[in-house]
Chains A and B, each alone.
Chain A
């Protein structure tokens, strides 16, 4: 790889931290890819990533790095890696990753995070789900009763 100068871009997180990454890594995000295409190919590109903090961004970039360097022959390996990657994220990071993948348009990461949340919801009672995600039950008892009645078809 000596002599080949890799194209780099600088991403700036919402709290002002700069990340210098290879262009091909950053382009895992469609948002960045589009921004780069629009702005022309200049040497020193700075792209602000609003609403994504440095902690989250570094985790997102870890994902992008892995997926940018993966070839189609390593599918199984990548799957394993994804599983481990999302497994070690706690709930807070999971929200941030989802939010970031959404705003940065990284489809693979969005799917991965959504799958993880869905797996946490599956098989739990509404009360258990509320407790896990701190969802506040803002229905009056009457409203709740009405919904349950309307949803009768779902419990037969």
Chain B
């Protein structure tokens, strides 16, 4: 290790001679406040360094003796808060364990109350608190002294009941980031918190319950740039969003309940409807399509294909709807005929698309598989993937669709497409049709990844779908590595000019320079 050729190894303590700010930077990369505090025994120089560190981070480590671990954790947080000074402390990030039993309360509400009061006194800017409640899964109410931390710029609460806002609450006047995860609160509390945080830029609420309505407007949140709301438990939220500075939005749930007119600076959007949930009207659908039309990155399901986007003409010439879109992740339940038709029509509205990911709904596929397996079990028959594929085709994807009239010429809308990813591919007729269509038209494709639903190995797929002898050649080793990395089913193509192209084994990769020969061998099966 020591190979310094010049001066003899130095005997000076240069580390301690570094400025405190640098030593704090070093302490930042130690795991938590406990390990930072341990450096205080090194020498006088180090004695108070840990306490003047801007951040207190303490996680509760589960041990066999949970109660003792929780008590030690409380002692550690108390000691750290005790030693900290308002001049240096900025951030408090701690776990709280609130056991459900009546008599074993190492960290009861009073403890958390004490911490919140200390944080308020110390002028903490960045508060992050995660309550753990083991063994019961119930969550506990946080003390309302939370609302006394007036200098917060960032508040993050994971697992907990948000308390009623006290009448003394005069707002989080500096708060820019609010992050609620797995919380219970009411529409009124949420509204009161938002009303008290006029500088909010990022609002994130995930896995929540109790909120039925949300209103965001330039009057209450003029600076909002990032909004996300998903996984509501039970009741869906009716949200009305007016945010002219929004760059990022994420909304999962019933999109019929979202009223949002878009934003001129939107960059990315994730708008996911519940499975099987359709838009109630084409106009309601069209409103959201227009709202996301200037995004660069989109993650959607039926927002992309429930209806066909009408041609838009600006000054007499056709203008694409998604003219900035670079990356599209489209989730598809089942590939029905109408879906195929509108998908193919709408994809022409994305002229700059570089990265397309088609993710077939895994949950629905698993459900179908489970049902089939169960019925086969009662008949004492073995399960076979091909039978599931056939059943799915008959039940969900029975409509035939003729793609021949959708053959595009050169200069088509998929010219920029470089990466095509398919997730949870089963190999139904319509899935195959869709992929075949995309491959045919994406003339500049560089990478093609397929993640197989049945987790079939290449050899299995080979035997299943590909009756023609395929020459693995010396590409086999590489292939296996890639498979580990991407969990995909693909063959590294051995064409010296396009080495980075991946082909699923089902596709004839013999001569990719000629489009006419791109016959998907998968079709032979059907």
A binding-site residues for B, Cβ under 8 Å: 90-92, 95, 98-99, 102, 110-111, 114-115, 117-119, 121-122, 126, 129-130, 133-139, 144, 147-148, 151, 153-154, 156
Q: Known contacts A110-B25, A144-B41: does B30 contact A154 (CB below 8 Å)?
A: no
User: Would you give the shortest CB distance from A129 to chain B, in whole angstroms?
Assistant: 6
Number of CB contacts from chain A to chain B under 8 A: 104
The 8 A CB mask of B46-74 against A (1 = contact, 0 = none) is: 11000000000000000000001001100
Indicate if the CB atoms of B43 and A138 lie closer than 8 Å: yes
Q: Known contacts A122-B35, A130-B42: does B14 contact A90 (CB below 8 Å)?
A: no
Beyond A151-B40, A153-B72, A156-B75: 8 further Cβ-contacts under 8 Å?
A95-B14, A95-B15, A121-B30, A134-B15, A139-B41, A153-B75, A154-B38, A156-B71
Q: Known contacts A118-B27, A121-B30, A122-B31: does B43 contact A139 (CB below 8 Å)?
A: yes
B binding-site residues for A, Cβ under 8 Å: 1-4, 7, 9-19, 21-22, 25-31, 34-35, 37-47, 68, 71-72, 75-76, 78-79
Bound CA span A95–B17, Å: 9
Chain A residues with Cβ below 8 Å from B25 are 110-111, 114
Indicate if the CB atoms of B16 and A156 lie closer than 8 Å: no
Bound CA span A121–B40, Å: 13
User: Would you give the shortest CB distance from B432 to chain A, in whole angstroms?
Assistant: 33
Chain B residues with Cβ below 8 Å from A114 are 22, 25-26, 28-29
Bound CA span A118–B78, Å: 25
User: Would you give the shortest CB distance from A48 to chain B, in whole angstroms?
Assistant: 20
User: Would you give the shortest CB distance from B133 to chain A, in whole angstroms?
Assistant: 22
Which B residue's beta carbon lies closest to that of A137? B43
Query: Which of B44, B75, B76 touches A139 (beta carbons < 8 Å)?
Result: B44
Q: Known contacts A92-B4, A121-B30, A153-B76: does B10 contact A137 (CB below 8 Å)?
A: no
Bound CA span A99–B16, Å: 12
Bound CA span A129–B13, Å: 11
Chain A residues with Cβ below 8 Å from B45 are 135
Indicate if the CB atoms of B18 and A98 lie closer than 8 Å: yes
Query: Which of B30, B43, B71 touches A135 (beta carbons < 8 Å)?
Result: B43
Chain B residues with Cβ below 8 Å from A119 are 29
Which B residue's beta carbon lies closest to that of A99? B18
Ordered by A's residue number, 10 sampled pairs between the chains whose C-beta atoms are within 8 Å are: A92-B4, A98-B18, A98-B22, A110-B22, A114-B26, A126-B42, A130-B42, A139-B43, A148-B41, A154-B38
Indicate if the CB atoms of B26 and A118 lie closer than 8 Å: yes
Bound CA span A30–B44, Å: 33
Which B residue's beta carbon lies closest to that of A111? B25
User: Would you give the shortest CB distance from B370 to chain A, in whole angstroms?
Assistant: 39
Bound CA span A92–B11, Å: 10
